[in-house]
Amino acid sequence: MASMGLAMAYPGLAQATVVAKSNGNRESLSLWYDKPAGAWVEALPVGNGRLGAMVFGRVAQERVQLNEDTLFAGGPHDPNNPEFLAALPKIRALIDEEKYKEATDLASESMIARPRRQMPYGAAGDLLLDFDGLAGASAYQRSLDLDTAIVTTRFADGKTQHVREAFASAPDQVIVIRLAAKGAGTLSFDVAYRQPGKAKYGDTSTAPAAMVGAPWDFKEPRNSGEAQVEPAIRADGSHALLIEGHNQESSGIPGALRYAVRVLALGDGKIVADGDRLRVRGAKTITLLVAAATSYVNYADVSGDPVRAVRDHTEAASRKPYDRLRSDHVKAHRALFNRLSIRLGASAFDAQPTNERIAGAETRVDPGLAALYVQYGRYLLLSSSRPGSQPANLQGVWNEGTNPPWGSKYTININTEMNYWHAEAANLGECVEPLLRMIEDLAVTGAVTARKSYGARGWVAHHNTDLWRGTAPIDGPNSGMWPCGGAWLCKTLWDHYEYQPDDAYLRRIYPLLKGASLFFVDTLVEDPKGRGLVTSPSISPENTHHKGVAICAGPAMDRQIVRDLFTWTLAAHALVKDPDPEFAKTIADTRARLPADRIGAQGQLQEWLEDWDGQAPAPNHRHVSHLYGVYPSEQINVRDTPALVEAAKVTLNTRGDKSTGWATAWRLALWARMGDGERAYSILTGLLGPTRTYPNMFDAHPPFQIDGNFGGTAGILEMIVQSWGGEIRILPALPKAWPDGSLHGVRARGGIELDLDWANGRLQRLSLRGKPHGKVNVRYGDKLTSIALDEKGRARLDGAQRA
């Protein structure tokens, strides 16, 4: 019955009996290259959420750069400024008097955290595998297979075929490196460890360089002052390297973490320990098991035993044969990764190395590259954020040095949130779990900041946090004095509930929503011009409204985020049956007094309560904070608020399409949400090109920030399926460049999963899966149809197969 009704709603669909074709092409799931990596942004990433590695695929000296997700600098500390609370009424008064420079100066002295900087994320060093006896390298290729999450390097040396595989196993919590020599020759190499140091990330104002690769016989020097390396002899004659160290001091906060790395070598041939390295001679196959850990237990407890952890992980893994390690890893990876497939049409460039496809992305149509970008974005998330790990930081879990860009922390005025924009639609909802646990931590530390700094109930987090869950404003007033970071994080929690409704999960997040709302109930103040309740002090991240001045009251983004937060809290209050009706009334009354969005004299959506947009010193600013209401929120949308959508378009046209990596991704998602597929596609070609994508497909802010990858993935999916306002929108922003394609396994709000296929720019088939006998509102073009799922929770548009 469902199929018949759908066919009547969309004439022509009943005749569609086959999946839309991608011209016979199999979905491309491989990044591949014909030369080894030179720069770090040419290496290929593997990760299991907690551990990460960058594999360079070099011949004479393989470099495997390591990361462990808790290896931040510093240790537990209270960053709250004791002068904050006393200064708060003075700064609010200065803002009311429009003395913004004076308010900024006082906030800098009295409100910014001590220390002013949070703790940076650091690398865990390098493994260097130095090979002897190689005469050359021919037929070279290295690749990352997204389907198996394995990096493979292949080359020939005379009559010997070398095959090296590397992966990060989630089941066994080790990085596995397998080396094999097939044919006449054998393997002879040394395994050494190089402790982490500072890295060169390049000038952030320049575009990424073209891939140069490395010659086959290239070898990097080892640095001096290495960590103590201890050989450990096992009963089976194999050997291990054990490295112990301490994290760094930063901004006056002593390093409180111990860390350990262990490398266990197994295989045939002769394996011996020699000083601070392992020597392998005359082997045909060798497996290296690599574990890393720190003493981090939680943000207040650093009493863990990293040495025991790495020994336990490597010893347990050593009891499995390599084939079992590999198959267990692949099975665990595919359980998440294989839920979604995407094809955007045939590509004549699939046979080219990935770096060459990126180099040509802005000048030719390569739909396969966009599809690969989506799957790579999914791969990066499940590799850097799995249940039990830390959330994905500014670089996921991959970072080359001890001095990462922006500390590689959690910037929560967009970047951390953007990391999870695609999680639900891309069918990776489990990957949100680390962020949920971090928000639960922030609700504890943020309650201290709320009480000490604002005299308020609930909890607050400003624009940045780190492993130690700092919630006070950092850096300076023009970036840090923003109280809505925690509230915005709550959107990821609410999105997860809407995509996967679950009563137990809702009961878990409700206290977080309630606490975040209570903070604003206590801290919103009356606008002196009678326009409602506003945040003060605040900023519009990270923009200034006058030269050198950002502090203000009630910027548009704050009003939008707080309005959303109150809405989610009220909905959750009703669903969990909170027996406190006065709380709900207070939230509803407070929400009603938030100022509405405003259109300025230029026809633009105002970024501030005052019409300052025309005089702001950075008209092309990367942040478009006041467009939060368009995306990722849905307050401003083409169905309900067309005038505000037009104002948002004026803003975007003024800001321009070209920006930093993540800001380009945001623009892509915004135009997609507003239904302009051609504009979104034009922006996407710039995001995929060599200015904003490195040879290994990492996003170039520059330098590397992973949020651009994740935001770009979300934006592409948004062009094909949207889920907001109680509707699922099919092909709402499909560009002419993708006339044929399919997207299977994408998720929508309400616990719905979809498969859709299209040809010649028109929908051919749509399958829905959800709750039995559920109702789904589907909009295709200008038609909105309510679909009843059957007793199995299914419906199908083509009518050719049973539901």
Residue 302 CA to residue 76 CA, distance in Å, equals 8
Establish if 748 belongs to a structural domain. yes
pLDDT at 236: 73
Judge whether 758 and 20 are in contact, CB under 8 Å: yes
Q: Do 48 and 16 share a structural domain?
A: no
Number of structural domains in the chain: 2
Judge whether 225 and 248 are in contact, CB under 8 Å: no
Kindly state the average pLDDT of the residues 731-743. 98
Establish if 167 belongs to a structural domain. yes
pLDDT per residue over 254-306, tens digit each? 999 999 999 999 999 899 988 889 999 999 999 999 999 999 999 999 999 99
Q: Would the pLDDT of 552 be above 90? A: yes
Kindly state the average pLDDT of the residues 699-709. 96
> 208 or 80, which is more confident?
80
Kindly state the average pLDDT of the residues 745-772. 97
Kindly state the average pLDDT of the residues 759-767. 96
Task: Categorize the per-residue pLDDT at 391 as very low, low, confident or very high, splitting at 50, 70 and 90.
Answer: very high
pLDDT per residue over 611-624, tens digit each? 999 877 777 888 89
User: Is 139 exposed, middle or buried, given 0-12, 13-18 or 19+ CB atoms closer than 10 A?
Assistant: exposed
Residue 491 CA to residue 421 CA, distance in Å, equals 10
Q: Do 251 and 224 share a structural domain?
A: yes
Number of alpha carbons in the 13 Å side-chain half-sphere of residue 198: 3
pLDDT at 25: 45
Establish if 633 belongs to a structural domain. no
Q: Would the pLDDT of 387 be above 90? A: yes
**Residue finishing a domain among 278, 305, 339:** 339
pLDDT at 7: 46
Q: Do 13 and 150 share a structural domain?
A: no
Q: Would the pLDDT of 10 be above 50? A: no
Q: Do 136 and 13 share a structural domain?
A: no
pLDDT at 238: 77
Task: Categorize the per-residue pLDDT at 482 as very low, low, confident or very high, splitting at 50, 70 and 90.
Answer: very high
Kindly state the average pLDDT of the residues 90-97. 98
Residue 206 CA to residue 659 CA, distance in Å, equals 12
Judge whether 724 and 631 are in contact, CB under 8 Å: no
Find tokens 């959508």 and name the residue. 645
Where do runs of H (alpha helix) occur along 598-730?
Answer: 642-655, 661-673, 677-688, 707-720
Establish if 638 belongs to a structural domain. no
**Residue finishing a domain among 278, 309, 339:** 339
Judge whether 401 and 445 are in contact, CB under 8 Å: no
Residue 395 CA to residue 405 CA, distance in Å, equals 9
For residue 325, what is the enclosing H or E element?
helix 322-337
Q: How are beta strands 410-411 and 464-465 bridged, if at all?
A: antiparallel
Task: Categorize the per-residue pLDDT at 347 as very low, low, confident or very high, splitting at 50, 70 and 90.
Answer: confident
Give the torsion through C-alpha atoms of 48, 50, 51, 52, to 10 deg.
70
Give the torsion through C-alpha atoms of 782, 722, 503, 795, to 10 deg.
60
Residue 140 CA to residue 156 CA, distance in Å, equals 7
Report residue 319: phi and psi, to 5°: -80, -5
Q: Do 10 and 159 share a structural domain?
A: no
Judge whether 140 and 33 are in contact, CB under 8 Å: no
Regarding pTM above 0.85, the answer is yes
Write out the two tokens for 530.
């009678």
Task: Categorize the per-residue pLDDT at 800 as very low, low, confident or very high, splitting at 50, 70 and 90.
Answer: very low
Partners of 180 in the β-ladder = 163, 285
**Residue finishing a domain among 281, 311, 339:** 339
**Per-position DSSP letters for 585-621, written without gaps between them:** HHHHHHHHTSPPP-B-TTSPBPSSSS--GGG-S-TT-
Judge whether 490 and 497 are in contact, CB under 8 Å: no
Q: Do 135 and 15 share a structural domain?
A: no
pLDDT at 227: 61
Q: Would the pLDDT of 471 be above 60? A: yes
Establish if 617 belongs to a structural domain. no
Q: Would the pLDDT of 209 be above 80? A: no
Partners of 281 in the β-ladder = 270
Residue 708 CA to residue 705 CA, distance in Å, equals 6
Q: How are beta strands 285-294 and 727-730 bridged, if at all?
A: unpaired
Q: Do 133 and 180 share a structural domain?
A: yes
DSSP letter for 431, please.
G
Q: Which amino acid is at 727?
A: E
Judge whether 389 and 50 are in contact, CB under 8 Å: yes
Residue 187 CA to residue 249 CA, distance in Å, equals 41
pLDDT at 479: 94
Q: Do 160 and 16 share a structural domain?
A: no
Residue 201 CA to residue 123 CA, distance in Å, equals 14
Mean pLDDT of all residues belonging to the chain: 93
What lies within 8 Å, CB to CB, of 661 at 6+ separation is: 687, 692, 699, 700, 701, 702, 705, 707, 708
Q: How many CB atoms lie within 10 A of CB 656?
A: 12
Q: Would the pLDDT of 799 be above 80? A: no
Establish if 281 belongs to a structural domain. yes
Residue 22 CA to residue 341 CA, distance in Å, equals 12
pLDDT at 21: 33
**In whole angstroms, how large is the CA radius of gyration of the chain?**
27
Q: Do 179 and 59 share a structural domain?
A: yes
Percent above pLDDT 70 for the chain: 94
Three-class SS string for 334-376? HHHHCCCEEECCCCCCCCCCHHHHHHCCCCCCCHHHHHHHHHH
Judge whether 376 and 53 are in contact, CB under 8 Å: no
Residue 127 belongs to domain spanning:
33-72+120-197+212-339
pLDDT per residue over 453-463, tens digit each? 999 999 999 99
User: What b-and-e string marks burial along 311-330, b requiring 16 or more CB atoms within 10 Å of the CB?
Assistant: bebbeebbebebeebbebbb
Q: Would the pLDDT of 15 be above 90? A: no
- The mean-pLDDT minimum among 192-196, 226-230, 552-556 falls in 226-230
Partners of 72 in the β-ladder = 121
Q: Do 248 and 137 share a structural domain?
A: yes
Q: How are beta strands 126-131 and 187-194 bridged, if at all?
A: antiparallel
Write out the two tokens for 16.
């569609």
User: What b-and-e string marks burial along 725-741, b requiring 16 or more CB atoms within 10 Å of the CB?
Assistant: eebbbbbbbbbebbbbb
Residue 42 CA to residue 354 CA, distance in Å, equals 11
What lies within 8 Å, CB to CB, of 232 at 6+ separation is: 239, 240, 242
Establish if 330 belongs to a structural domain. yes
Write out the two tokens for 711.
């935001």
Task: Categorize the per-residue pLDDT at 211 as very low, low, confident or very high, splitting at 50, 70 and 90.
Answer: confident
Write out the two tokens for 361.
């992305």
Sign of CA dihedral 652, 657, 659, 664: positive
Q: Do 18 and 127 share a structural domain?
A: no
Q: Would the pLDDT of 6 be above 70? A: no
pLDDT at 514: 98
Task: Categorize the per-residue pLDDT at 18 as very low, low, confident or very high, splitting at 50, 70 and 90.
Answer: very low
Find tokens 């919590």 and name the residue. 173
**The CATH number of the domain where 53 resides is what?**
2.70.98.50
Write out the two tokens for 423.
């999680």
Q: Do 128 and 19 share a structural domain?
A: no
Residue 89 C-alpha from the chain's centroid: 37
User: What b-and-e string marks burial along 278-301, b requiring 16 or more CB atoms within 10 Å of the CB?
Assistant: bbbeebebbbbbbbbbbbbebbee
pLDDT at 177: 98
DSSP letter for 101, please.
H
Establish if 19 belongs to a structural domain. yes
Q: Would the pLDDT of 541 be above 80? A: yes
pLDDT at 20: 31
